[in-house]
A and B are shown apart, each in its own frame.
Chain A
Amino acid sequence: MGTLLSTFELGDHLCAVVAADVQEVLMSQPCTPVPCSSPWVSGLINLRGQVVPTLDLRARMGVRSSDNDGAMSVVVRRGDEVWSLLVDRIGDVIEVDEAQFELPPDTLTGEWRQFIIGAYKLDAKLLLMLDVATLLDLSAELAVAG
């Protein structure tokens, strides 16, 4: 039994989160900035009456984005909270095999190491599995940014 993953592009990278955590994907939404918040939070969106915070995943991961306007959102549930993650392009939902999985290489350092759980070796490309919990934990960054 494989795992279903929801994939998306961040710069040149193909990334994924567990599809079960994904509520929906959205085209770019009008977003209200929140002054004095973490630099990674690009603001709040109105998702059918629910106020949902948006995390700019590209900024968070330090990926320079090719075009800013075509951004799309992956809406994920974390416990009782919902977050919208800003990515470059939404990909397919794919099924992966655990045999394809490998832990991140030891040479991977810095921020990327804490954000990535591991990689699936797909035929065409490496699929990076993101650690959503760490990505959404802004407390440390808040202290630095503040």
Chain B
Amino acid sequence: MSADELDAEIVQEFLIESHENLDQLDQDLVALEQSPGSRELLGSIFRTIHTIKGTSGFLAFNKLESITHVGENLLAKLRDGVLVMTPEIATALLRLVDQVRGLLASIEHTGSEGEVDVAPLADELRELLEAKLAEAAQPAAAKAVAKAAAVAEAAAVAELAAVAEAAAVAELAAVLEPEAADAPAPVEAAEPPAKAEPAEVDVRSAIGDATIRVDVNLLEQLVRLAGELVLARNQITQRAGNIGDEELSRAAHQLSLVTGELQEGVMRTRMQPVDHIWSKLPRVVRDLSTQLGRTVRLEMEGGDTELDRTLLEAVKDPLTHLVRNAIDHGIEPAAERTAAGKPGTGVLRLRAAHEGGQVLLEVIDDGRGLDGPKLAAKAVEKGLLPASRVETMSSQELQQLVFIPGFSTASKVTNVSGRGVGMDVVRTNVERIGGSIEVESEPGQRTCWRLRIPLTLAIVPALTVESCGQRFALPQISLLELVSLDTERAASGIETVGEAQVLRLRGSLLPLVRLEEALGLQRPAGDDGMAAVVAVLEGNGRRFGLVLDRVLDTEEIVVKPLPRALKDIGLYAGATILGDGAVSLILDVASLSRRQLQGEAHDDLQAANTSRQSGADDERQLLVVSVGAQRRVAVPLEVVTRLEQFPLADIKHVGRRDVVRYRGKILPVVRLADHLSELADSNAEFVPGVVYTSRGRSVALLVEDIVDIVAEGSTVYSDVEDYGLIGSALIQDKVTEMLDVRAAILAADPHYFDDQPEGEITAEQVDDYDADYDSVGAS
């Protein structure tokens, strides 16, 4: 190894060590402000700065040496109790740390210290030291001696006696000559710590023996190999099971055990405690709360929780953003807090814990919380959501609005957290690594941001599923539940609203995505695809059901990146190799939801038309609604574009007609009860409405209740007619009247069909229905 290489290596070591030390220093300094007298902390800080000073002198980084030297002088006085820690000194020292960090970064990138001028800060520190010394030294010259002696004794007990004594004597000398802090200090100060070095080295090397530095790339390679081994193990175990040779089975079992342990061990090498990223936060909190005039106490719990280092890196920014956000928008200024009857000091809690194979990270503040109605108003104002939708949302749902792109809770942009980076970016970043985020808040009391992060990215628990004879892997993290539809329910359980398929799940409608349609799969001959499983998934903050043929197994899969040409498809998160050696694609739940649920509100005539034609062979579906106290009225489902809940208060009379504001437009409505000369039954806050849209024109038929969706085939018609009806039928043993849809639409909007050319699908569709019915009714 040449001298240059050796030098480079030493500098590299120095940089790594110093960066670690600086992180420690940040923490220690902030902690020191809380407990100004802690000798342990002061000692640790002093040692860190001293080490950097010593090494930088050795490596001829003069700026670094001179600035750390001044800092060391200041610290020496603090450690010896001559000076007491004040916020002023803490700020100065933190700035010192920043400058050191800057110099180190410059050395790392350019190999030299760069053009930074360290003199101003050095002067400032020196002046501060003199000013403070002048304050402290005058009346206490004698006291200082006594104090220093006591301190030295205490130190002597704590540290190795012989070394400490030497140091104590030297330090005592330094204290006895206050002027030594100036010009002759380099020599003076450099001496005693040099003697103290052996003790530190001893302590360090004891730790050093138990740990080594390993190249991250080597670790990554080991993890990859362990992953391969797991796959090979899976294949061998499966085949050994098939062969039934006892000895082979035993060997396979042994292999399986060892592989499992090896994998676990290798994975652990990638694990780092959450503390690793938390360590930077006390400094962030301190700086920010000082800047904003907040008093904040930071509490951290579960810092030893371990997480894959790549994931840890990935959550660093979101976490920092949440912390900044909590101080900026969450925790109020002290005056406001006391006025609200809360303690003046706000508490920001960081919590980490393992929970069900995931790591739970929480950022909790006891600040003003999220104001649901205010969020709702803002979402409507910004045109992100229609008012009608917002009003039906629970306060929990309202709080999740902050994650919508384009939403930022600060009414004015501050330089702290309102830099155009909203919570939507936080969510995107968290979801990118397979995590999830939610917020829970009690207005005026607290806000809790909850992140769930997978333990590791390389190996994920997944469900192997099948559709049209092809297997896919579905990461379990996005899976909420599985709903099995047997042959009978597959036909009747899935209903359509407009052209969207939905499943009624515990009273609410779940939008469905058929995997075979999303991927354009060809169903092999002889497979009727009748039996189905609905995987209830959550992606992009939306819940939806993925319709599959069947679920095969749960497996720990090793995620392999896709070749570039296939990444662009965007439907797959990667590929994996299953137990039998076959390659399987991993479905990207977030992008599936994004692609397939975009068209939530297809007002598209074309789509309605196609769906109608494709469904021509199917039985017609009827939507049964209740009108008035007990009348049941059926509407063909194909004319239903959407079902909505309209707030009663929003329905206004304009002339002789009723209208409601809906998605930024005026929507004509007709109360079916009025239309059919029935008394409206309820005065509920929300009125269910059946929205019919074509060519951008919509009308809504208001009803009392949505009762059911039934297949028309099961109905028996009679030709009892009444105004607004075209007959009646017995549906589920109840007399149900068939609505004259055209008449009802005209009642809401007399000009509805005016500008539609003859033979237009919608009109035809409605007419068709009438005609169909007439023929049945007449027979």
Binding site for B on A (CB under 8 A): 30-38, 41, 43-46, 49-53, 81, 83, 136, 138-139, 142
Contact = CB atoms under 8 A, between A and B. Distances in A.
B519 interface: yes
A81 B231 contact: no
A53 B562 CA distance: 9
Nearest to B576: A51
Contacts of A83: 563
Residue among A31, A35, A38, A41 with the most chain B CB within 10 A?
A35
B560 interface: yes
B582 A32 contact: yes
A51 B583 contact: yes
B232 A41 contact: no
Interface stretch (B132-140, B567-575, B623-631): B567-575
A49 B562 CA distance: 13
B594 to A, nearest CB: 15
Contacts of B462: none
A20 to B, nearest CB: 21
Contact of B565 (A35, A43, A51, A138): A138
Contacts of A49: 228, 231-232, 577
Given A51-B575, A81-B563, A81-B564, 15 more contacts: A30-B582, A32-B470, A32-B582, A33-B470, A35-B521, A36-B520, A36-B571, A37-B569, A41-B565, A44-B585, A45-B583, A49-B231, A49-B577, A51-B583, A52-B563
Nearest to B521: A35
A76 to B, nearest CB: 13
B581 interface: yes
B470 A38 contact: no
B566 interface: yes
Interface string B572-601: 100111000111110000000000000000
A86 to B, nearest CB: 15
6 contacts: A32-B575, A32-B585, A37-B569, A49-B231, A53-B563, A142-B565
A51 to B, nearest CB: 4
B83 to A, nearest CB: 58
Contacts of A33: 470
B566 A41 contact: yes
Contacts of A52: 563
Interface of B: 228, 231-232, 470, 519-521, 560, 562-566, 568-569, 571-572, 575-577, 581-585
Residue among B562, B563, B569, B584 with the most chain A CB within 10 A?
B563
A111 B569 CA distance: 24
A49 B520 CA distance: 28
A11 to B, nearest CB: 24
Contacts of A142: 565, 568
Nearest to A34: B566
Nearest to B230: A49
A45 B571 CA distance: 19
Q: Which 3 A-B pairs have the closest CB atoms?
A: A35-B519, A32-B583, A44-B583
Given A36-B519, A37-B569, A46 B564 contact: no
Contacts of B521: 35
B565 A53 contact: yes
Residue among A32, A38, A45, A81 with the most chain B CB within 10 A?
A32
Contacts of B566: 34, 37, 41, 44, 53
Residue among A52, A53, A83, A138 with the most chain B CB within 10 A?
A53
A46 B575 CA distance: 10
B582 A34 contact: no
Contacts of B575: 32, 44, 51
Contact of B584 (A31, A32, A41): A32
A50 B582 CA distance: 11
A142 B564 CA distance: 13
A12 to B, nearest CB: 28
A99 to B, nearest CB: 37
Contact of B569 (A31, A32, A34): A34
A138 B521 CA distance: 21
A139 B521 CA distance: 22
A140 to B, nearest CB: 12
A142 B576 CA distance: 24
Contacts of B519: 35-36
B569 A51 contact: no
Contacts of B576: 51
A50 B520 CA distance: 26
A45 B568 CA distance: 19
A31 to B, nearest CB: 8
Contacts of B470: 32-33, 35
A57 to B, nearest CB: 15
A44 to B, nearest CB: 4
Contacts of A46: 577, 581-583
Contacts of A139: 565
Nearest to B563: A53
A45 B584 CA distance: 9
